[in-house]
Amino acid sequence: MARAAVKAVAGEVNENGDRMLQILGESARLFATKGYDGTSMRDIAEACGISKSLLYHHFVDKDEIYARIALGSTQRLYEFVVDRLPENGTPPDRVRAFMTATGDYFQRYRSNWIASTAAFWSDPELRRHKERVMWRDRYEGLIRQLIQDAIDAGDFRAVDVPLTGRLVLSALNWMHRWYRPDKDLTPGQIAESYFDLIFNGLKAR
């Protein structure tokens, strides 16, 4: 293939990739603010500054866009958190890092988080649903393993690991229901406070 043709193909791939990221980003924002039912393909096209026909060139329908956001957000959350765990940190440090990284992810991708949370159980496509559950299970399994590591090291007392993991995730996952960006604390700082409350307790020392 001639060099000019290769460059043209590469440019088209990059343009298509950038366009899809734009569509997913704008769609997540609309789904988070207006809800799935309140968002139309026309709304998404107008937010992206493109025609509906170009939007349909990239995605079959609104359901496909919604599902892609939910799947991508679940996978990205797991990878985001794993990348921020300190390799040489103590077991409690790694639990804290898991929680603060989740808070940081929420702050950075808040629209995706809200949209994917609402969509998690509603996708009728079985294959996509199974893949999302797989990444969700990896994420939940990670915090359980980190808690178990801290117990094994003698840093945490022996507790019910699955129950403790659910407590941690419940605190983090429901932050989107009440958090407001204009408040004093960032989601990462809130997660830090959750860590102190859960693992150091309320009892005065």
Express each pLDDT in 175-200 by its tens digit. Answer: 877 888 877 789 999 999 999 999 98
**Is 40 strand, coil or helix?**
coil
Element (H, E) at 129: helix 126-152
Q: How far is CA 72 from CA 67, 113, 155, 203, in A?
A: 8, 10, 34, 40
Name the fold adopted by 1-59. Answer: Arc Repressor Mutant, subunit A (1.10.10)
pLDDT in tens, 78-137: 999 999 999 999 999 999 999 999 999 988 888 777 777 765 555 556 566 688 888 889
Q: Are 37 and 23 in contact (CB under 8 A)?
A: no
Domain residues of the chain, as ranges? 1-59, 61-205
Given pLDDT bands bounded at 50, 70 and 90, which one contains residue 7? very low
What is 61-205's CATH number?
Answer: 1.10.357.10
If you average pLDDT over residues 135-142, what whole number do you get?
Answer: 93
For the full predicted model, state whether its pTM sits above 0.85.
Answer: no
Specify the pLDDT at position 152: 97
